[in-house]
A and B are shown apart, each in its own frame.
Chain A
Amino acid sequence: MSPGTPHDASARAVGRADTSRRPARRRLTPARPVTRRRVTVLLLVAAAALFFALFFGYPVAAIVGRGLHTSAGWQLGAVADVLGRRDIRDVLWFTTWQALVSTALTLLLALPGAYVFARFAFPGKGVLRAVVTVPFVLPTVVVGSAFLAVLGRGGLLDELWGVRLDTTVWAILAAHVFFNYSVVVRTVGGLWAQLDTRQEDAARTLGASRWRAWRAVTLPALAPAVASAGLMVFLFTFTSFGIVQILGGPAYSTLEVEIYRQTAQLLDLSTAAVLTLVQLGAVVAVLALHAWVLRRGESTLRLVDPSRTARRPRGVAQWTLLSGVLGVVAVLLVLPLAVLVLRAFDTPDGFGLTYFRALGSADGGTFLVAPIAAVGNSLRYAAVATLIALVVGGLAAVALSRERRGQDGRPGGVSRLLRGFDALLMLPLGVSAVTVGFGFLIALDEPPLDLRASWILVPLAQALVGAPFVVRTMLPVLRAVDQRLRDAASVLGASPWRVWWEVDLPLVRRAVLVAAGFAFAVSLGEFGATVFLARPDSPTLPVAVARLLGRPGDLNYGQAMALSTVLMLVCVVSLLVLERLRPRDVGQGGRGPSGRARSSPAAVTKPRQAPALRPDGAVTAPTEGPLTKERSR
């Protein structure tokens, strides 16, 4: 950290507030701002809570209630009945163990990846980082067929060793690793890249072995991030849907698949309601554990600019590790995607653009417009969803960042409430899309909220999945803002709004853009909720792919592959843009408050060292928030 930064920063903020020419005398008693702050926080929480209550809590409660409440009153006996069923217990058991194994495998394969991305500098790293994130935002319909091409008959394994893994649990596990690799790389790698290597070096100088130095210095610092990533992967694999359905075949069923089957196919709402409650319970438990881990992880770590910790690999061991990781990425992540692209170009008369050209014509029958128009639809829905997610997630993050501890160091009443709210915001990640979708239909059908046939349902559902990501990205950054900057500004007479505008916003600007970028990419690939909601005839990209796959014929199949390629391309481009916007500093905006930027334009482009905003030079460890994920996977 550069010397004197905290002082400079406060001085600048004070200076800027001063130029507002507001008289400072109004705000001399400390009690009033505190009360005011509490009211503001509560108002912000209320606004975000209202959104979640209306568009998540209420619909889910409505559909669960419909299942458990009949004319004869509440059917709570159904809970015991359903849970007593042998087939349901089998489903619960399979759901749990496959999630545990998937998580373990993902960590095993992705942690070396996290290390390589964090500590090694090599050409093409940025592009590769975007590539490993692509699976995360791809719809399962696309991935399923890509994966079958590798693991199924005639696939690579089959040709080399005569091994076929389709309709086995191995295919499910492999695909889960494929999807969640980037969760670990981004969450753990993001932090790893910012750990100061000098501490480990110091330990080694003092005689510790490489392994010991790592175990004593780096591992404790990383552990919370690893646990956080692991829990997120567990959450995603526990609620896995499409992958299990496509790759596992009918013999395997997870809780989420069973909820879908009971709701959408059998209309057995009471069984579905019980299962939804079970899943909700499990997800709440995982999220509570996750929140606890995150809180413990908020230790004060000395973080540095990631570009300084990465260097070219040296020696045989490091090169072997790098090539090993690249090999895993190539086989596990790139190969399935490549097969997909290959099929898009593989026309009956050799390689060509036939299928891509066909995307532009409207005579396909499946669509009233050309399939390529789905790109426009997707971009529009994703833009609206991102906007909603930013507003709601942003409000929540601002409110949550104001959590204060009492004299005894324990959180006060308001803070405890906020913490519960923090976990609550993550719930949409763990609730089945069909539950939310059907809930929308039966809950939002009366004025003033009569949205039964409205286009806004799609971005609303997508925003529910995007908002938790916005919160997770912005919160660590907002928490790292020195409260004294805000206090200084308000003492000098700035209104709360102005404090936010002058102090918080410049610091979180980049985090906002990153959050927006990812929420956008996730919305683009969102399939589950979108497909469950009635909508005007304007399919999104994933829905268009699914429709094309739903009809026979060479041209339809080829177009589906071509459109999947387009979707992948759109995802990669938005992720690359996002990559460029990534905060290079520790959570902060990459440069100091705007006063400095104006006087020194170089600061805009040149990544500066972490401007530690606490006087002790420590900031809250920002584990890059858990990535959100396409529902119904």
Chain B
Amino acid sequence: MSTRRKTVAAIVAAGLAATGLAACGDDSAADAGPSSGKTVTLVSHDSFAASKSVLKKFEQKTGYRLKVLKSGDAGQAVNQAVLTKGRPQGDVFFGVDNTLLSRALDQGVFQPYEAKGLSAVPADLQLDGKRHRVTPIDTGDICVNYDKKYFEGKKLDPPKTLADLADPAYKNLLVTENTATSSPGLGFLLGSVAQYGERGWQTYWKKLRANGVKVVDSWEQAYNEEFSGSAGGHKAGGDRPLVVSYASSPPVEVLYADPRPEDAPTGVATGTCFRQTEFAGLLDGAPNPEGGKALLDFLLSDTFQRDMPLQMFVNPVVKGTALPDLFTRYGAEADGARTVAPQKIAEHREDWINAWTSLVVK
């Protein structure tokens, strides 16, 4: 065999091997289209997470094979669902929250299904009333986190409320996210709208700006680079002791530290919170609606609800679900978390974001 032939043979073999490997690594190679028959496909955003054993349980219980498609952040995932409506990528979509709910509902992305176990979910979380196009699955609070060490060192009380953040004592301490590109950023803005009303919020943000609020594009950047209290931010030399993050961030700092500290390095300003509720729904045009319904039931089951806190760091919606130790010990209870009706958000989102941008960023 000449060298040339060897090269060609090697390229061909590498190609075949690659295709073969890709096929093995990916059981879906056989069916190119969306799920059909005995497969249920869950479409979600990149933050979706669940224990392997929990997902296995679903497969054992129902006999369906579960496939998970994750793509982009929450906003992008919802927009993909809107774009592919009628010919969806899967059967169930998980991860539309109250800030984007109206867009998905108005576009007719979902078909109604009343999931088993819905009666155990508080009525104020069931934002689609009796129509049941979406099912609430979890809630999470967007709150300002603070660096405990910083405030102890300065002998300064950490802020508690939104009003505190505009106090000159906390000048140049807060970093938040761009409302146009980040969902915690948007949530924080909506919290201020809920608190100060449709007129008052702009005055509030003018004060925040005068007080030296810093805006970055993403949560990753705010939390891992700018915030002095997080592990990443600490390493990166972050110098802002206040950051817009989640109420569940402190327990996560504990969980992913080795060795685990006695106390969480960060705390939550409980009077600054905005409540996000995440929903799942059966996609209109789902190839396997029966499997999708079984999956929705499963998402409300105790097995899945109990698994969520340590996987996605959110709170279960089903009343009486046992919370992990970590959450009860280090987590924070939001002090009257604010929220805004999805319809109102849908009507004003763009105006608010634009107004905010010219007020705070430009």
B-contacting residues of A (Cβ < 8 Å)? 66, 141, 144-145, 148-149, 152-155, 158, 167, 245-246, 249-251, 261, 263-267, 343, 346-348, 354, 358, 362, 365-368, 376-377, 380-381, 383-384, 386-387, 390, 438, 441-442, 445-447, 450-456, 459, 505-506, 509, 512-513, 516, 531-538, 543, 546-547, 549-558, 594, 597-598, 604
Contacts and interface: CB of A to CB of B under 8 A. Distances in A.
A446 B29 CA distance: 17
21 contacts: A246-B221, A368-B68, A377-B25, A380-B21, A381-B22, A383-B17, A442-B83, A452-B33, A455-B26, A532-B76, A534-B43, A535-B71, A546-B46, A546-B220, A550-B219, A550-B220, A551-B313, A552-B253, A554-B232, A554-B256, A594-B2
A556 B181 contact: no
A536 B4 contact: no
Interface string B198-239: 000000000000000001111111011100001110011111
Interface of B: 2-4, 7-8, 11, 14-15, 17-19, 21-22, 25-26, 28-29, 32-35, 41, 43, 46-47, 49-52, 55, 67-72, 75-76, 79-80, 82-84, 87-90, 103, 178, 180-181, 215-221, 223-225, 230-232, 235-239, 245, 249, 252-253, 255-259, 310-311, 313, 350, 357, 361-362
A555 B258 CA distance: 7
B190 to A, nearest CB: 15
Contact of B253 (A149, A366, A380, A554): A554
Contact of A450 (B33, B49, B357): B33
Nearest to B68: A537
A246 B34 CA distance: 34
Contacts of A558: 231
A538 B215 CA distance: 33
Contacts of A381: 22
Interface of A is mostly: helix
Given A387-B15, A531-B71, A153 B239 contact: yes
B355 to A, nearest CB: 13
A383 B22 contact: yes
B90 A390 contact: no
Nearest to A265: B75
A498 to B, nearest CB: 13
A85 to B, nearest CB: 11
User: Which of B8, B83, B259 counts the most chain A CB atoms within 10 A?
Assistant: B83
Nearest to A589: B4
Nearest to B219: A550
Given A552-B252, A557-B224, A597-B2, 15 more contacts: A155-B237, A246-B221, A265-B75, A368-B50, A384-B18, A387-B14, A441-B84, A445-B87, A450-B34, A452-B88, A453-B28, A453-B41, A512-B11, A536-B67, A553-B230
Nearest to A367: B49
A250 B179 CA distance: 10
A154 B237 contact: yes
Contacts of B215: 249-250
A142 to B, nearest CB: 12
Contacts of A380: 18, 21-22, 25
A475 to B, nearest CB: 19
B4 A354 contact: no
B52 A383 contact: no
B29 A550 contact: no
A386 B14 CA distance: 10
Contacts of A384: 18-19, 22
